[in-house]
């Protein structure tokens, strides 16, 4: 892996991110308004390639949702030609490092904040992603049938995180 540029996703990236989402996830791509709200209020990071004119390598979007009690990884994607060479790991690790700061900002507590886990949904048949998340100590908590537009089930996964700024 050639070290990439880690940057915050901004409104200027919206079209590009929405196109990648649509190509990669089809009918299950995040809706444009959700992508925009994550850019404005979430922890949304991207990797650009130094070598290829700042070409997008991948992105991760973390946010808080009414639906869950924990912050959630809404989307994590590495463009296919860059996969399986460490970029996904680098991006997830970088986001997890920045997470306490982000959670402190939204939780507004002095020292501890109430979130001690991070959650996500992943396709039951997405073996690469399951292996990837398990490597980072995400655990399967439950299975949700018919989660995706084609009727496929999802695994709901959680990982324990530090709930204090160290
Ligand atoms: C899942 C994804 C983000 C992983 O990113 P990546 O850059 O390819 O992953 P890394 O190179 O950092 O790999 C880390 C680990 O993930 C697992 N993994 C990743 N790609 C794999 C593959 N093709 N086959 C088997 N295991 C794989 C391995 O455990 C690997 O560790 P190892 O190299 O020690 O074996 C990427 O494959 C992707 O964007 N997939 C499509 C979108 C998606 O599925 N997103 C997640 C949905 S929630």
Please check whether residue 92 lies inside any domain of the structure: yes
Nearest-angstrom CA–CA distance, 62 and 59: 10
Number of domains observed in the structure of the chain: 1
Look up the pTM and report it. 0.93
Q: Which domain holds residue 56?
A: 5-119
Please check whether residue 50 lies inside any domain of the structure: yes
Cα-to-centroid distance, 107 and ligand 1 (Å): 31
Please check whether residue 9 lies inside any domain of the structure: yes
Question: pLDDT tens across 17-61, in order?
Answer: 999 999 999 999 999 999 999 999 999 999 999 887 889 999 999
Please check whether residue 149 lies inside any domain of the structure: no
Please check whether residue 124 lies inside any domain of the structure: no
Residue 160: what pLDDT?
93
Say whether pLDDT at 158 is over 70: yes
Q: What is the CATH number of the domain that holds 104?
A: 3.40.630.30
Please check whether residue 25 lies inside any domain of the structure: yes
Residue 111: what pLDDT?
56
The residue whose CA is least distant from atom 17 of ligand 1 is: 132
Which residues does 70 contact at the CB level (< 8 Å), separation at least 6? 115, 117, 118, 119, 158
Contact predicate 88/76, CB 8 Å: yes
Q: Which two tokens stand for residue 37?
A: 């709200």
Best residue among 80, 84, 96 to mutate for probing ligand 1, ranked by most atoms within 8 Å of CB: 84
Question: pLDDT tens across 16-27, in order?
Answer: 999 999 999 999
Please check whether residue 130 lies inside any domain of the structure: no
Please check whether residue 146 lies inside any domain of the structure: no
Tally DSSP H helices, then E strands, for the chain: 4, 7
């Amino acid at each position: 892996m050639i070290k990439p540029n880690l940057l915050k996703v901004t409104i200027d990236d919206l079209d590009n991110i929405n196109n990648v989402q649509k190509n990669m996830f089809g009918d299950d791509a995040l809706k444009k308004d959700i992508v925009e709200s994550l850019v404005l209020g979430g922890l949304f990071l991207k990797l650009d390639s130094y070598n290829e004119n700042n070409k997008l390598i991948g992105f991760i979007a973390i946010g808080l949702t009414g639906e869950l009690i924990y912050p959630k990884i809404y989307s994590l994607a590495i463009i296919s030609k860059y996969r399986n060479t460490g970029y996904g790991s680098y991006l997830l690790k970088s986001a997890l490092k920045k997470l306490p700061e982000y959670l402190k900002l939204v939780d507004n507590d002095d020292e501890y904040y109430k979130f001690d886990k991070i959650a996500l949904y992943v396709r039951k048949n997405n073996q690469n992603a399951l292996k990837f998340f398990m490597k980072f100590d995400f655990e399967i908590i439950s299975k949700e049938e018919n989660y995706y537009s084609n009727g496929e089930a999802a695994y709901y996964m959680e990982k324990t995180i530090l709930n204090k700024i160290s």
